[in-house]
Amino acid sequence: MKQYLLAVHSVEGEAEPSTEVIQQMFADVEAFNADMRATGAWVFAGGLHPPTSATVVRIKDGEAMLTDGPFAESKEQLGGFWVLKAADLDAALELARRGAVACGKPVEVRPFRDDAED
């Protein structure tokens, strides 16, 4: 079974949902996560702090240089992710659809390049 990354994107400029909506999103995502665990699709998942909390590490002339803020200057940033097992891309896309409904955000699907189970 192939592993897929389902990446949740936060879109710059979108209004921040109310506390009640956020709490419902958390509950919906946890229900989705519980289903993924029960069906054996679950590998790992996690939410991320905002991009402004990022530190970027670059190597220049053998020395580490640290800078604040996200690496990518983008209107969309990664807000969280799932690593799930799916039989094929169609199955992964269905999981992503369900994940997008649960979290209320766009979800990108990408297969892992190397999978020990293949």
Domain ranges of the chain: 2-111
Task: Quickly state the pLDDT bin for 116 (edges 50, 70, 90).
Answer: low
Half-sphere exposure of 73 (CA within 13 A, CB side): 0
14-18, 64-68, 96-100, 104-108: least confidently modelled range:
14-18
CA 31 to chain CA mean position, Å: 16
Task: Give per-residue pLDDT as tens, 36-59.
Answer: 999 999 999 998 888 888 898 999
Beta-strand relationship, 55-60 and 63-68: antiparallel
| CATH code reported for the domain at 2-111 | 3.30.70.1060
Half-sphere exposure of 60 (CA within 13 A, CB side): 6
How high is the pLDDT of residue 6? 86
Q: How many CB atoms lie within 10 A of CB 97?
A: 13
Q: What is the DSSP string of 7-67?
A: EEEEETTPPPPPHHHHHHHHHHHHHHHHHHHHHT-EEEEEE---GGG-EEEEEETTEEEEE
